[in-house]
Amino acid sequence: MHLLFYLSVLLLQIATAMALPLIRPNSIISSANLAISYVESCPHDTNTDETVTLFIHGLDSSSHTWRRVQQSLTTPTIAIDCRGCGNSELGGPDEFTPNALVADVKSVVDSHPLLQKKRFVLVGHSMGGRVAMCYAAKHPEDISALVIEDMDIRRREVNSNFIPNFDEAKALSFERLHPNLDSVKN
């Protein structure tokens, strides 16, 4: 009987040690006065000196895109819900621009204790890659590494877009072809 008890305690300790890091949802109020949501995964103490990874998802996606990646990393991570995605507020549709998204990311960086005054790894997927490039160009002092994943180099033709009432002018503001990093700053 005692052996069974000790075996169950040992199994519980092993399961706890192997548990996935806790994913915690949260939000901040951005400089544009919008609620911007994010989820964080901190496998260790939140006062860690470990490098944090900040994830930005693509268009028509959310922070959930990064959930399994966050759970697999042993360092702290934060995944943002860009405005109008996941649990974040949209604000005015005309304000859905690369510069506005960069300002939202900066609001999260400036308010989060794991990111404040620390350099972090910035990862962007698709549209999030464009936002990450713009952020890195405007705030290079914040970035220790930049990872762009699965981003189109050239904008797709309008006739290939299935979105009703597609606004080509707005899409042009997300042009992805740039001769160098400095050209992303504008």
Q: pLDDT band for position 180 (50/70/90)?
A: low
26 pLDDT band (50/70/90 cuts)?
confident
For the chain, give the mean pLDDT.
80
CA distance 109 to 170: 26
Cβ-Cβ contacts under 8 Å for 142 (sequence gap 6 or more): 109, 115, 119, 120, 122, 135
50-69 confidence digits (pLDDT tens): 899 999 999 889 999 999 99
Confidence band for 43, pLDDT divided at 50, 70 and 90: low
C-alpha 32/C-alpha 18 separation (Å) is 40
Percent helix, strand and coil across the chain, each to the nearest 5: 40, 20, 45
Q: Which residue has the higher pLDDT, 175 or 65?
A: 65
Structure tokens given for 155: 């904008």
Q: What is the pLDDT of residue 9?
A: 45
